[in-house]
Copies of this chain bind each other. A is one copy, B any other.
Amino acid sequence: MSEPRLVEVRRNVLKQNDVIARGLRERFREAGVFVVSLVSSPGSGKTMFLERTLTELQPRYRVAALVGDLATENDALRLARSKAPVKQITTGTLCHLEASMVENALQEWELQQMDFLFIENVGNLVCPSSYDLGENLRLVLMSVTEGEDKPLKYPTIFNTADVAVITKNELAQAVEFDWQAARQNIESVRPGMKIFRLSAKTGAGMEEYLTFLIQQRDEQRAAALGA
């Protein structure tokens, strides 16, 4: 089995990624941009949620987004409807974004011109967990249609995220979503984790989440200026 060698090489890749991510985080801080990444399984509604986020923040803040997919520019086209600058990163066969891809994608952008930068990762509940992208906040999304057990089955991604967002709440009744069970499962994997329940379709719950984002950005800026 060449498995141990694979592990060793992967460790080097991760180490390199961490170095680049650290550099990114420093640049974000200096530019005063608050960076939020989104991870979830495919089809949990990341893009619709992000489109709504961009659209609602847009009047008051300068927002931009990077969006990762194996193939297609579909998400960038969808997000462009929000009028925010959006760039697609296609990863080919890779199931996650890496810090170097974010760094490359940002080359032509002025970070100083942004208040918020969103990074939508490739739809995957496993691969993205080990890759730091220099973000300030990582959201893990889970739609009510996926079932309440996902935190137990994918503990690593919940552990590396800061906030859980339960999406597609307009379908909660139709799928008999058990909110207590979902919350308990998240709690058991990540005690005290902040959770938002919302519907990007109807807009219910968006306000509370956006207020939280803005607060987080303000706190981070205050800390950066105080430091």
Contact = CB atoms under 8 A, between A and B. Distances in A.
A70 to B, nearest CB: 6
B123 A123 contact: no
Contact of A156 (B12, B70, B74, B149): B70
A168 interface: yes
Copies per complex?
Answer: 2
A124 B152 contact: no
Nearest to A10: B6
23 contacts: A2-B12, A3-B13, A6-B6, A6-B9, A6-B10, A9-B9, A41-B42, A42-B125, A42-B150, A42-B154, A43-B143, A43-B146, A43-B147, A43-B150, A69-B153, A70-B126, A71-B154, A72-B149, A74-B152, A93-B126, A124-B125, A145-B145, A174-B174
Interface of A: 1-3, 5-6, 9-10, 12-13, 16, 41-44, 69-72, 74, 93, 95, 100, 122-127, 142-143, 145-147, 149-150, 152-156, 168, 171, 174-175
